[in-house]
Chain A
Amino acid sequence: MAPIDNDSPVPDAGRHSLLGLLTRGPTQLGLLIILLILWFVFTSVAPGFLSRFNLNSMGRSVAIDVVVGFAQMVVLATGGMNLSVGAIGVCCVMIAGYLMQAAGLPIPVSILLTLAFGGLLGALNGLAIVKTGVNSFIVTLASASLFSGGMLIFTKGVPLNGLPATFGAFGRSGVGPVPSLAIVALLIGALLYILFKHTVLGRQILAVGANARTAEMSGIPVGRITIFVHVLSGVLAGAAALMLTSRLSAAMPAVAGDDWLLPSFLAPVIGGTALAGGMVSVIGTILGALLVATIRSGLLVLQVGNFWLQLFLGVFLLSAILFERYRAKLAIREQTRRA
């Protein structure tokens, strides 16, 4: 496993056989294979699964999950965590609503200000972590409470539902069969991919995550990098918040928050991002979110469960990951055999 989206080191043999294909390549390929299998199974059992309506709705919610996952992923890259992703998210939801509805600012201005606000909250996290030396887990745990508390104080829990119609319309729109929100998520993904794969900054972030002491001794400004990823995380949480606001055509205090906590970790970790830092996968995060959404949606369409749904969700998720584990094992064995 190389740090990012592995360009597979052993490219030759076995290229033409199916087994060869299956047993090469990184986790991301494995996830893709699982996804294809699941899609195939779900469609053949429940035709509603691939209906335009269902795909569209899945696409939109995955898009938000993906960006939420990104917001966590960039911090995980340095070996830290951001438990306040959801709190920043809900603050941004409300700020966006306020800017558009109460302050009546033009949509693009509101968007920029919202993202900047997310970045600002992230910067507070980063500064607190670097200046106090308290670990990111505790700082962001406390700041989550600070941020969402602050939001409650200002809004008194009252939602805003008079947003400009065009803003909500964007959340429902699409280009052909692809929801606009999914395109936004992919664009953000592309930028992050470039960041981590092709820029110095991205490399530095990963180096800090994999070994902060070595990074420092190599002249990398560990403190500044830490602050930067938190700002980025805040901006991404802000982006996810805007997407959510657009999708719901309203800003309300009950969204994001704690609801984002686990999903923010789930997608990156399934996708191959290391909790310990130093290794991220943008594509993996997208596939991870897709996997979870596919399983949920598939179970819903199959009408499995009702109250039991969560049980099946857990079981399916585990089986899918087991499958990938097994495939990865085969892949390593294959590479070893060829050595």
Chain B
Amino acid sequence: MALILDRIGKSFPGVRALNNASLSLNGGEIHALMGENGAGKSTLIKIITGVHRPDSGTVTLGGAPLSLSSPRDAIALGISAVHQERNLIPRFSVAENILLEGLPVRNGLVDFRRANDEAREHLRKVGLDVDPATEVRRLSVAQMQMVEIAKALSHQAKVLLLDEPTASITDAETEILFRLVRQLRDQGTAILFVSHKLEEVLSLCDRVTVLRDGETTLCGAPMAGMTRQTLIEAMIGRAERPVIARSGKPQEGTPKIELREVATAAGHGDISFSLYRGEILGLYGLVGAGRTELVRAIIGKDKLKSGMVLIDGKSVRIGSVEEAIKRFRMGYVSEDRKHEGVVLAHPIRSNIAMTVWDRIASTFGLIGAGKERKTAAPLARQLEIRTPNLEKLVGNLSGGNQQKVSLAKWLAADVDILFIDEPTVGIDIKAKAYIHELINGLADKGIAILLISSDMPEMVALADRILVMHDFRIVHEHKNDRKYETASRAIMSAIHAAEPVQTRTAR
């Protein structure tokens, strides 16, 4: 069944998100939708799912004009979606979340046993091993993402829209997802797939539509014959340029920060490493390895059980995040931007300037919007945050642009030690290159950086050394020569050599 969007226009206060955008999505195909952050991809998907109504243009499904006034209408028509932001009910069980649209009922009452059984089946398909009765709020980010995917697939929809489903899951899970998606395509489902990972798109999709500034620059072109370069040109209007390489080197001498046999309440044991000024130390691991939790313990958010943390050679106790930031000049770019990275209801300028309010204030503690703007503007420009002005609420930005804000505020902060957790999730390739250059630049300035990333190429491109974490232990250290093949082989074999983990029920 074909879904056709013809010359769609959609504006928000101050922004034209879509301008004569078109798309034709056929049954039995996987159709890539690409574009830079803020190009209008999610908006287009929200129009198809009835979240937004278009200002102009027409939508037809199987030849019949479509006028959706709510997501319910879309669901009723067999349109199902995984949205870019997580949309689960935190206190409901996994099973209930998956089956929310059609809970099994017996004698007028919800039949939870059947719901659990059905959900278990869906979970099995996507390879997620959690008890369907678990409350969703107890899952990790990646697990939630898999629940959302399971939920969308459970509908056996005619049209399936996937908005960056792979942004926060690992390669293994991605593989499972792709297998399922291909199966669905072969059964005739129409699938729209949004991703910033070009390799993924090239290998998975049959056709591609590209948006630039809300306009279609490529409309349903066959993927065969496309290359990375042609896609990039369609998205950004010019060819990709190589990332400017690092000029500096890690400094020698006393490590900026050193951990000695640290154990945490979360379960880490025997963690020891040194991080030098001007060094980018990678921390790689599969989802759930405990990387995020380690950083949280270091910055005083969670409890350390034993061991020592040394800064500039001196043993320190970090009691709170505030102390970590103010006294030890640390920064932390969270992987969970929505809850820990940005203040959705506040404007861009405040979000970016937040970490330096103390510093840009006058003697009486006064600051104004002007001062914030002055701090924020260069960073917003550098990272190309797509917005008409800095007053826009971060909650109204596209996902990737929110991620940029979450990063930008730490670039403003002028810290000595920076922990960066999954910095480029959902970021387009152009901005990703900028961010890589920025991280390099920060290291060159002498900042000690601990980089967590599940994106192996990113890790290999940036890190000076790579620590491999597995099940809350550091199992390997790799001296990175920035060669992808050798690095990835070394890292993966270190992970596989380590004991297999038995699945734990989340925290």
Binding site for B on A (CB under 8 A): 1-3, 7, 9-10, 194, 197-201, 203-204, 206-207, 210-211, 213-221, 274, 278-279, 332, 335-339
Contact = CB atoms under 8 A, between A and B. Distances in A.
Most chain B CB inside 10 Å of its own CB: which residue of A2, A198, A218, A335:
A218
Contact of A218 (B11, B55, B355, B393): B355
A330 B15 CA distance: 17
A9 B355 contact: no
B392 interface: yes
Contacts of B368: 197-198
A335 B391 CA distance: 14
Contacts, number: 107
B367 A213 contact: no
A10 B14 contact: yes
Interface string B329-348: 00010100001111111110
B321 A339 contact: no
A199 B366 contact: yes
Contacts of A339: 11-16
Nearest to A335: B13
Contact of A219 (B14, B15, B346, B355): B355
Contact of B13 (A201, A206, A219, A332): A332
A210 to B, nearest CB: 4
B361 interface: yes
Most chain B CB inside 10 Å of its own CB: which residue of A214, A335, A338:
A214
B409 A218 contact: yes
Given A7-B391, A214-B339, 17 more contacts: A9-B14, A10-B14, A199-B365, A201-B365, A207-B346, A207-B350, A211-B343, A214-B341, A214-B342, A216-B301, A217-B321, A218-B325, A219-B325, A332-B13, A336-B11, A336-B12, A338-B14
A185 to B, nearest CB: 23
Contact of A203 (B334, B354, B392): B354
Nearest to B392: A9
B376 to A, nearest CB: 13
B322 interface: yes
Q: Say which size band chain B's interface belongs to.
A: 35 or more
A216 B296 CA distance: 12
Nearest to B369: A7
Contacts of B346: 2-3, 206-207, 210, 278
Contacts of A199: 361, 364-367
Nearest to A10: B14
B15 to A, nearest CB: 5
A230 B357 CA distance: 22
A200 B361 contact: yes
B389 interface: yes
A293 to B, nearest CB: 30
A183 B201 CA distance: 65
B358 interface: yes
A338 B388 CA distance: 12
A2 B393 contact: yes
Contacts of B389: 9
B343 A200 contact: no
Contacts of B325: 218-219
B366 A194 contact: yes
Contacts of A7: 369, 391
Interface in B73-113: none
B326 interface: yes
B350 A211 contact: no
Contacts of B345: 3, 210-211, 274, 278-279
Contacts of A335: 13-14
B326 to A, nearest CB: 6
B54 to A, nearest CB: 12
A77 to B, nearest CB: 12
B343 A203 contact: no
A35 B182 CA distance: 62
15 contacts: A2-B346, A10-B13, A10-B14, A200-B366, A210-B343, A210-B345, A216-B301, A217-B301, A218-B325, A219-B325, A221-B320, A221-B322, A336-B12, A339-B11, A339-B15
Nearest to B361: A200
Contacts of A214: 339-343
Nearest to A224: B322
Contact of B350 (A10, A201, A203, A221): A203
Contacts of B343: 207, 210-211, 214-215, 278
A219 B16 CA distance: 36
Contact of A204 (B14, B332, B357): B357
B322 A220 contact: yes
Contacts of A217: 301, 321, 332, 334, 340-341
A278 B393 CA distance: 12
Contacts of A211: 339, 342-345
B12 A216 contact: no
B340 A213 contact: yes
B322 A219 contact: yes
Contacts of A279: 345
Nearest to B320: A221
Nearest to B353: A203
Nearest to A204: B357
A221 B343 CA distance: 16
Interface in B346-403: 346-347, 350, 354-355, 357-358, 361, 364-369, 388-389, 391-393
A3 B364 CA distance: 22
B426 to A, nearest CB: 17
Nearest to B299: A217
Interface string B434-456: 00000000000000000000000
Contacts of A206: 346
Interface in B9-28: 11-16
B355 to A, nearest CB: 5
A337 B13 CA distance: 8
A24 to B, nearest CB: 11
A219 B388 CA distance: 29
B362 to A, nearest CB: 9
A220 B347 CA distance: 18
Contacts of A9: 13-14, 388-389, 391-392
Contacts of B15: 339
A276 to B, nearest CB: 9
A154 to B, nearest CB: 38
Task: Enumerate the 4 nearest inter-chain pairs by beta-carbon distance, A residue then B residue, closest first.
Answer: A219-B325, A335-B13, A339-B11, A9-B391
A203 B357 contact: yes
A211 B402 CA distance: 15
Contacts of A213: 339-340
Contacts of B358: 200
B391 A3 contact: no
Given A217-B341, A221-B322, A2 B391 contact: yes
Given A9-B14, A278-B346, A207 B354 contact: yes
